[in-house]
Structure 1
Amino acid sequence: MREWPLASVVVVALVGLGLVADHDQPVRRGLLVVAAALLLGALLRAGLPTGRAGLLAVRGRLIDVALLAAGGAALAVLVLATPSGRG
């Protein structure tokens, strides 16, 4: 399968969204998994040659990695900085 890097990121993100939708799980856990999916995308884009990165290669490598890593890190920081609402 040629698009396994993108498929890996999408599968992890869908697992995270499934955890968000599951009312028995904390929403925070699911959002952290979605953040991890973005960070996984950044790692795959950074580590794979452009020809093997498939649809993760949209722009230049530096821009792709920076945007994916910044999005994943920002989401993780926002999730961890938000109070859980449990007192």
Structure 2
Amino acid sequence: MLIRTTDGYEMDVNEACVAANRYPPGQFFELLAELADRLGASLPPTGRPVILREEKDRAHFPAEVGKDAAVVAMTSSDLERYLCGS
């Protein structure tokens, strides 16, 4: 399924993942936070440690992945700050 925000950005969603080519500002992060929260999902961004919703989610990953994972609140501003450094 392709989801397009009203501000023109897209993300591809299937039963295994949410895929995006970049992290645009605006509604993208609102949608990503909402999807992750509703699905109870962790986020594995390319080239970065896994993003966990809660500390207890660390147990679902192999030790080498979980040790570097970061707990980030599933809000648009917190995700944008973590992923973009802004």
Q: TM-score, normalised by structure 2?
A: 0.31
Structure (1 or 2) with the larger CA radius of gyration: 1
